[in-house]
Amino acid sequence: MKKKWSVGKILTQVFLLFWLFMCMFPLYWMITMSLKDTSEIFGPNPVGLPTQWLWGNYANAWGSGGRISNYMVNSVIDTFVSLAFTSLLGFMCAYGLLRMKWKGQKVVYTYILLGMMIPMHAALYPLTEILMTLTKTHWALIIPYVAFNIPITILILSGFITNIPYEMEEAACIDGSGIYRTAFTIILPMMVPALITAAIFVFLQVWNELLLASLFTTDSVRTLTVGIKQMSGQYQTDYGSMGAGLVIATLPTLVLYMCMSSQVQKSLIAGAVKG
């Protein structure tokens, strides 16, 4: 049976192809930019394929000139330590706020979620007073990253944890399980899809963050975003090496998306379905 194509379907497909092109073009431009020299980037061939494929831009960005390797290590440390603390504290807070009954429970839950309404810029002055003594350590970024991402983590986890039947905890209590054992051996394994979803959102925010990383880090603990920014010189900039640094910084995000996109979709659907 032949498929009938209406005008609406054809227009939809054309729009989707156009949108795909618009989304993929920046990635294509960044990759081709990383393989050109500055004269070609700003010359007659800004968007075409390189006339000479300068793979040396990656070597220059990674080690000798850009020090991207050092900044990559710092970003990995900050991101994964932040993810670990945010996931652990977010799960414990969500469990205590939504599965335990105590006075003022809803007020505290609402108060924590209001943290999502506070822009990072509004907290710069108090953060400066608190974190300036930690600028030579990774904690100068890990602490605010965890604090700013706990509310969104709790919000994501709350959609899942409320769908878990209370009978499971009651059965565990009858069998002699304490509250910590119940939370970490029964509830936590069931929350893995939700934790993965929250971790992806937190990863994207922490990995690409620039403002706090610019203010509260010294050269020894600078992250990828700040390192790439510093590759722009006052009088001369090697845009080919900068493009290579951007590609290196983007790869983890692309790999994470390709590996976890289906998991995120399933998790969001599971969290939206009641009963």
- In a domain, residue 263? The reply is no
Q: What is the pTM of this model?
A: 0.82
**Judgement on whether residues 86 and 193 belong to the same structural domain of the protein:** yes
Inter-residue long-range contacts of 114-120, CB under 8 Å, 24+ positions, other chains counted = 114/151, 115/147, 115/148, 115/150, 115/151, 116/151, 116/152, 116/155, 120/144, 120/148, 120/211, 120/212
**Judgement on whether residues 114 and 6 belong to the same structural domain of the protein:** no
Other C-beta atoms closer than 10 Å to the C-beta of 47 total 10
C-alpha pair distances (Å), 21 with each of 17, 18, 24, 27, 34: 6, 5, 5, 10, 20
pLDDT per residue rounded down to tens, the chain (275 residues): 456 677 778 888 899 999 999 988 988 988 998 888 888 888 877 888 888 888 888 888 887 555 788 888 999 999 999 999 999 999 999 998 888 888 888 898 888 888 888 887 788 888 888 888 888 889 999 999 999 999 999 988 888 888 888 888 888 888 888 888 888 888 888 888 888 888 888 998 899 888 888 888 888 888 888 888 887 765 567 788 888 888 988 888 888 877 777 766 665 555 444 44
**Judgement on whether residues 29 and 121 belong to the same structural domain of the protein:** no
Backbone angles phi, psi at 12, to 5 degrees: -65, -45
- In a domain, residue 117? The reply is yes
**Judgement on whether residues 88 and 191 belong to the same structural domain of the protein:** yes
- In a domain, residue 255? The reply is no
The number of distinct structural domains making up the chain is 2
Contact 91, 191 (CB under 8 A): yes
- In a domain, residue 181? The reply is yes
**Judgement on whether residues 87 and 127 belong to the same structural domain of the protein:** yes
- In a domain, residue 270? The reply is no
Contact 258, 237 (CB under 8 A): no
- In a domain, residue 61? The reply is yes
- In a domain, residue 260? The reply is no
**Judgement on whether residues 36 and 161 belong to the same structural domain of the protein:** no
Provide the residue range defining the domain that includes 18. 1-65+231-250
**Judgement on whether residues 92 and 217 belong to the same structural domain of the protein:** yes
- Rounded to an integer, what distance in angstroms lies between the CA atom of residue 119 and that of residue 214? 17
> In sequence order, what are the residues at sequence separation of 6 or more whose Cβ sits closer than 8 angstroms to the Cβ of residue 41?
33, 239, 240, 243
Contact 86, 202 (CB under 8 A): yes
H helices of the chain, where?
A: 7-33, 38-41, 56-59, 68-98, 105-113, 124-131, 139-161, 166-174, 179-182, 188-190, 192-207, 211-215, 224-230, 239-272
**Judgement on whether residues 79 and 184 belong to the same structural domain of the protein:** yes
**Judgement on whether residues 163 and 117 belong to the same structural domain of the protein:** yes
